[in-house]
Structure 1
Amino acid sequence: MKWPLVLFLVLVTACGIYDFLSMRVPNCLTVSLIFIGLAYRAWTGDWWGGFWGALVWFVIGVAMVATGGMGGGDVKFMAAIGAWAGVYGGLLVFAAASLIGAAWAVVKLARLGLLKQKLLYLFYWCSSVFTGIRQPLLVEKTPGEGVPREAIPFAACLAAGVWALAIALWYARYVWFMRY
């Protein structure tokens, strides 16, 4: 395993653990990940791939913040993953993180007794897309209120998605392909 990948996994794990414990992602870790990722991509000769990955995932993250889906630290963390993995690698990580986050949300909402209410709300909100009747956002937060109790630390899901993808790629490369 190359040392840049080890550094990436250590910093990603630190971001995930910090978000899990405090529902925040420190700027010192995410900004460092972005710059180190861009430097690594420049060193490997694919600076533009890292730049476009960071930019695309930053823009997608900003759009998700605007809809109330995540916080600002998650946006920078997504940009950092994009800087390292590129646009398509970031897409794989985002897909894995979304599945992990959805499973986590279902379990958390069931434990809080809010699953039925949120599923009905989600149904009405999705139906408003087709009918044109406006519905409020899924996670409503009043000014001055902290993190909603049903919120999921998405950077922790992103870190788990990075690890899931790393393990799947390792398995595909060293176990599955070596058989054939």
Structure 2
Amino acid sequence: MEWPVVLFLVLATACGVYDFLTMRVPNCLTVPLILAGLVYRAWAGDWWGGFLGALVWFVIGVAMAATGGMGGGDVKFMAAIGAWAGVYGGLMVFAVASLIGAAWATVKLARLGLLKQKLLYLLYWCGSIFTGVRQPLLVKMPEEGVTREAIPFAACLAAGVWVMTAAAWYVRY
């Protein structure tokens, strides 16, 4: 394994662990990771692919952050993954990270006793979207003062990086 890939894995793991412990991803990890990814891609002869990957995944991350789906550190971490892996590699990491995050959220909601309520609300929402008819609400809406249980998505992204790196290594060798 090349040393730049090892550097990427170490920094990505640091972002994931830090997010898992503190629910934030510091700029001192993400910004150098973005810059190192762009330098690596330029050294490998594909600067444009790294730049485009960082830009696309930054824009997607901003859109998700605007809806409350993630924080700013997650957005910059996604841009860093895009800088290293490109648009399509970032897509694969994001897909794996989303599956990991969905499994984690399901287990967390089940442990808190909220899984049934959230699934019924999801069914209500899907029924309203697909039929265009507001269905009768089967569950009580959450009150304003209730805090949401968050999942540290950068930890899921870091796990996705490891899964996709292992898969790429397996396919290559």
Q: TM-score, normalised by structure 1?
A: 0.86
Give 2:108's aligned residue: 108
Give 2:121's aligned residue: 121
Give how far 1:128 is off.
3.2
Give 2:98's aligned residue: 98
Identity rate, percent? 81
Give 1:34's aligned residue: 34
Give 1:78's aligned residue: 78
Give 1:47's aligned residue: 47
Give 1:20's aligned residue: 20
Go from structure 1 to structure 2 and tell me whether the alpha carbon gap of 1:67 and 1:106 turns closer, same or farther (over 3 Å shift): same
Distance 2:85 2:143 in 1: 32
Give how far 1:126 is off.
2.6
User: Are 2:169 and 1:170 aligned?
Assistant: yes
Go from structure 1 to structure 2 and tell me whether the alpha carbon gap of 1:124 and 1:39 turns closer, same or farther (over 3 Å shift): same
Give 2:139's aligned residue: none
Structure 2: unaligned runs, 5 residues or longer: 135-141
Give how far 1:131 is off.
4.1
The alignment yields a C-alpha RMSD, in angstroms, of 2.1
The number of equivalent residue pairs is 167
Name the SS for the 1:25 alignment partner: coil
Q: TM-score, normalised by structure 2?
A: 0.89
Give how far 1:132 is off.
4.6
Go from structure 1 to structure 2 and tell me whether the alpha carbon gap of 1:80 and 1:133 turns closer, same or farther (over 3 Å shift): farther
Distance 1:167 1:24 in 2: 26
Letter in 2 for 1:159: A
Give how far 1:45 is off.
1.1
Letter in 1 for 2:159: A
Structure 1: unaligned runs, 5 residues or longer: 135-139, 175-180
Distance 1:90 1:73 in 2: 16
Matches within 5 A, 1:150-169: 150-169=149-168
Letter in 2 for 1:77: F
